[in-house]
Amino acid sequence: MLRNLIAYLDSVKSRDPAPRSRAEILLYPGVWSLAFHRVAHRLYRARFYFMARAINHLSRFLTGNDIHPGAQIGRRFFIDHGFTVIGETAVIGDDVTLYQNVTLGGTDPANGIAGKRHPTLANGVIVGSGAQVLGPIHVGARARVGANAVVTKDVAEGATMVGIPARAMLVDVTAYQRDFLPYGTPCSDCFDPEKQKLEMLQCEIEQLQKRLAELLAEKQKPALPADDLAMFKERGRA
C-alpha cells in the first residue's frame, strides 16, 4: 500500500515541476479527488449508490472536482489543480493527466453504443485546461488535447488536437514520443496555428505546380504525323 502511494506521488512529481516534496503533493486537491473516487467507485460497484453519491458530493465540496462514482479510472491518474468534471460512463486509462476546468462530458448516444455517453481516454493522454471532450468517443494513447479545445470525434493515437471544433495539428512524431510533455502542448513557434496554415497552403501550391507541369507536358506532346492524320480522317469518313 505504502509502496503504491510513493510510486503514485513520484509519478505526479514527474509531471508537475512545482512540488518540492512528496508531502506537498499530498495537499493537492487532485490527489484527494482520486482517493475519494476510489472509495466511491467501490461502493458504486457494490450498488450502494446513495453512499457513493454522498462521498462524491463531499469530494466535490472539498476539492472542486466532480467525478461520478461510476467512472472507471486507471492507475496514476492526475488532475492538476481542479474544477474538473468527469461523467458516469467515462473510462480513463493509466498515466492520464487532466488540467483545470476539463470536462469529460456526455452527449446523446446516437452512435449506437447503448448506455455509453462519455469519452474513453487511453493510456498517457493529456488534456489541457478548459478543454471539453464530449460524447462516447475514443481518445487514442498518448494523444494531446490543447487548452479550450472541444473534441467531439475520435482522436487518433499520438495526435495533438486544438481548436473549436478540435482538429489535428501537424506535429513532429518526436514531440509526443517522450515520456511526458508538461502542460500538454508545446508553445514554440513550430506549433503556431498560423504556421500550420502556411504549411497547408505550401502543400496546396506544390500540388497545383505538379498538376500544371503535367498539363504542360501533355500539351507539348508531338502531333501525329501527316500520314497518320490522313488515315484517321479516312476511317472517320468510312
CB neighbour list of residue 156: distance below 8 Å, 6 or more residues apart:
140, 143, 168
The model's pLDDT over 111-155, given as tens digits with 9 standing for 90+, comes to: 545 578 899 999 999 998 899 999 899 999 988 998 889 999 999
| Confidence check: pLDDT of 173 > 50 | no
CATH number for the domain whose boundaries are 2-187: 2.160.10.10
Please give the single-letter amino acid code of residue 224: L
Q: Residue 1: what pLDDT?
A: 77
Domain parsing of the chain, residue ranges:
2-187, 197-237
Q: Rounded distance, CA 208 to CA 201, Å?
A: 11
| Confidence check: pLDDT of 62 > 70 | yes
Q: Which residue has the higher pLDDT, 236 or 105?
A: 105
Q: Rounded distance, CA 76 to CA 217, Å?
A: 60
The model's pLDDT over 176-202, given as tens digits with 9 standing for 90+, comes to: 455 665 655 555 544 455 565 666 677
Asked if 96 and 124 touch (Cβ cutoff 8 Å), the reply is yes
Question: And the C-alpha cell for 230?
Answer: 490522313
Q: Residue 59: what pLDDT?
A: 93
Element (H, E) at 64: none
Adjacent-strand bridge partners of 98:
79, 127
- Per-residue pLDDT, averaged over 208-234, amounts to 69
**Could you tell me where the beta strands, DSSP code E, fall in 174-226?**
none
Q: Residue 133: what pLDDT?
A: 94
SS3 (DSSP) at 226 = helix
